[in-house]
């Protein structure tokens, strides 16, 4: 027993779920089968739930090797969002720090499924987490890191030229063709105004979005980048032939 009365364990395992359906997709279509999730009560269908087949078999396997284990699920929104995963990583880091203090003599293990693996790796980058003392296993994780595209001035000018040609040549040509086919009686002055509007608006929108996207890309790069120490952190990566991560990698390889 620990001084605070808690049980001593050889291994403390944190289970991190991945992305799951949210809002109406979850509440309307999945609640009748799985219960409302996440919630205070987890049906046994959920792999990280108390009493699930996964947890029972994992505990039994460790027990056969003479290891006592405590298992705790870590819940986050499950949204397929870089920002949500970063928020979850900060909360997971607090969870890990608390468990390291509560069980100083235990081996800390994180088992993460799908995008939960990205959450776990981001958690290692948070201040105060002793990454050397944490073992991470990922299951079917599509590892994601956003890298900025570095365009030379010549490439930028080429893109601007292509947009300019599209808005000044192709769009007016299509607008005139549509007018001749469907609106032959349209006033020429009105047609000229419409064509000018169609040309100018996409051009302005393009440059505005490019400036806005530059700021967004910088933010997303920061939310998915990993430090060199985390990149070198040993991982046990588990994948099946037909899981999401493996299929994505195969598609990217053959594309």
> Can you give the pLDDT of all 255 residues of the chain as single tens digits?
444 445 678 999 999 999 875 554 555 555 555 544 555 444 556 788 888 889 999 999 999 999 999 999 998 988 888 999 999 999 999 999 999 888 888 899 999 999 999 999 999 988 877 767 799 999 989 888 888 777 777 887 787 777 777 777 777 777 778 778 878 887 878 877 877 777 777 666 666 666 666 777 788 888 888 888 888 888 999 887 766 666 665 665 555
Smallest CA-to-CA distance from 123 within 80, 94, 154 is with 94
Backbone torsion region of residue 14, taken as left when φ is above 0, otherwise alpha when ψ lies between -120 and 50, otherwise beta? beta
pLDDT at 68: 93
Note the pLDDT of residue 3. Answer: 46
The pLDDT, as a whole number, for residue 160 is 73
> Which tokens hold the place of 11?
């291994």
Strands 107-113 and 235-238: unpaired
Give the distance from CA 156 to its chain's centroid. 29
As beta bridge partners, residue 237 has 138
Position 121 scores a pLDDT of 94
Q: What's the count of helices (H) and strands (E) in the chain, helices before strands?
A: 10, 5
Phi and psi angles of residue 4, each rounded to the nearest 5 degrees, phi first: -85, 5
Structure tokens at 192: 């000229």
- Tell me, what's the pLDDT at 212? 62
> Any idea which residue has 């819940």 for tokens?
75
The answer to whether the beta carbons of residues 241 and 140 sit under 8 Å apart is no
């Amino acid at each position: 027993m620990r001084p605070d009365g808690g049980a001593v364990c050889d291994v403390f395992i944190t289970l991190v779920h991945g992305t799951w359906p949210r809002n109406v997709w979850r509440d309307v279509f999945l609640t009748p089968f799985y219960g409302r999730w996440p919630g205070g009560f987890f049906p046994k269908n959920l792999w990280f739930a108390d009493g699930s087949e996964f947890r029972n078999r994992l505990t039994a396997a460790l027990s056969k090797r003479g290891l006592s284990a405590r298992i705790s699920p870590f819940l986050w929104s499950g949204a397929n969002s870089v920002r949500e995963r970063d928020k979850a990583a900060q909360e997971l880091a607090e969870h890990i720090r608390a468990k390291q203090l509560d069980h100083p003599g235990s081996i800390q293990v994180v088992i993460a499924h799908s995008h939960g693996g990205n959450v776990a790796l981001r958690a290692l980058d948070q201040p105060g987490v002793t990454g050397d003392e944490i073992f991470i296993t990922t299951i079917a994780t599509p590892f994601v890191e956003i890298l900025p595209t570095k365009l030379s001035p010549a490439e930028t000018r080429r893109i601007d030229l292509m947009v300019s040609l599209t808005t000044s040549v192709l769009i007016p040509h299509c607008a005139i063709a549509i007018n001749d086919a469907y609106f032959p009686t349209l006033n020429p002055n009105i047609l000229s105004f419409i064509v000018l509007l169609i040309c100018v608006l996409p051009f302005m929108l393009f440059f505005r979005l490019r400036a806005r996207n530059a700021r967004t890309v910088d933010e997303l790069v920061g939310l998915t980048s990993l430090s060199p120490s985390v990149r070198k952190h040993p991982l046990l990566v588990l994948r099946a032939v037909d899981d999401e991560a493996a299929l994505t990698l195969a598609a990217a390889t053959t594309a």
